[in-house]
Amino acid sequence: MNRIGETFLSAGRPLFIAFTVAGDPDFDRSVAAARALIEGGADIIELGVPFSDPVADGPTIQRADCRALGAGMTPEMVFTLVRRIRLFSTVPVVLLTYYNIVHHYGIPRFYRDAGGAGVDGILIADMPVEESGPVMKVAKETGIDQIFMVCETTSPERFERILKNAQGFLYLVSHMGVTGVLTALPPGATALVRSVREKTTMPLAVGFGIATPDHAAGIARAGADAAIAGSAIVAIIEENMDDQECMVDALKKYASSMRNAMNRPGEAGMG
Contact between 197 and another protein per CB under 8 A: no
Number of residues that bind another protein (CB under 8 A): 37
Chain positions 46 to 85 lying near another protein, rule: CB under 8 A, are 51-53, 55-59, 62, 69, 74-75
Q: Whole-number minimum distance, CB 89 to another protein, in Å?
A: 26
Which residue's CB is nearer to another protein, number 16 or number 51? 51
Judge whether 242 counts as a catalytic residue. Answer: no
What are the CA-CA distances from residue 260 to residues 40, 88, 152, 212, 235 (Å)?
Answer: 10, 22, 28, 11, 20
Q: Whole-number minimum distance, CB 257 to another protein, in Å?
A: 28
Contact between 128 and another protein per CB under 8 A: yes
- Candidates 36, 139, 173, 205; binder of another protein (CB under 8 A) is 173
Contact between 242 and another protein per CB under 8 A: no
- Candidates 96, 114, 119, 127; binder of another protein (CB under 8 A) is 127
**CB contact burial 178-191 (16+ within 10 A = b; e otherwise):** bbbbbeebbeebbe
* Interatomic CA distance for residues 271 and 259, integer angstroms: 9
E strands along the chain, which residues? Answer: 15-21, 44-48, 93-97, 121-124, 145-150, 170-173, 204-207, 226-229
Which residue's CB is nearer to another protein, number 131 or number 239? 131
Residue 12: φ, ψ to 5°: 70, 15
Q: Which stretch binds another protein (CB under 8 A): 7-15, 18-26, 143-151, 226-234?
A: 143-151
Which residue's CB is nearer to another protein, number 58 or number 203? 58
Contact between 137 and another protein per CB under 8 A: no
* Interatomic CA distance for residues 114 and 96, integer angstroms: 12
Of residues 6, 26, 39, 46, which has the active-site annotation? 46
Judge whether 113 counts as a catalytic residue. Answer: no
Contact between 99 and another protein per CB under 8 A: yes
Residues contacting residue 27 through CB under 8 Å, at least 6 positions apart: 71, 73, 77, 80, 81
Residues contacting residue 218 through CB under 8 Å, at least 6 positions apart: 185, 189, 190
Does the bond joining 25 to the residue before it have cis omega, within 30 degrees of 0? yes
Of residues 24, 57, 145, 225, which has the active-site annotation? 57
- DSSP letter for 91, please: -
* Interatomic CA distance for residues 16 and 42, integer angstroms: 5
| 3-state SS assignment for residue 186 | coil
- Candidates 101, 117, 205, 248; binder of another protein (CB under 8 A) is 101
- Candidates 100, 243, 265, 267; binder of another protein (CB under 8 A) is 100
Contact between 214 and another protein per CB under 8 A: no
Closest Cα partner for 250 from 41, 40, 61? 40
Catalytic positions: 46, 57
- Interface residues with another protein (CB under 8 A) are 51-53, 55-59, 62, 69, 74-75, 98-101, 103-105, 125-128, 130-131, 148-151, 153-155, 158, 173, 176-178
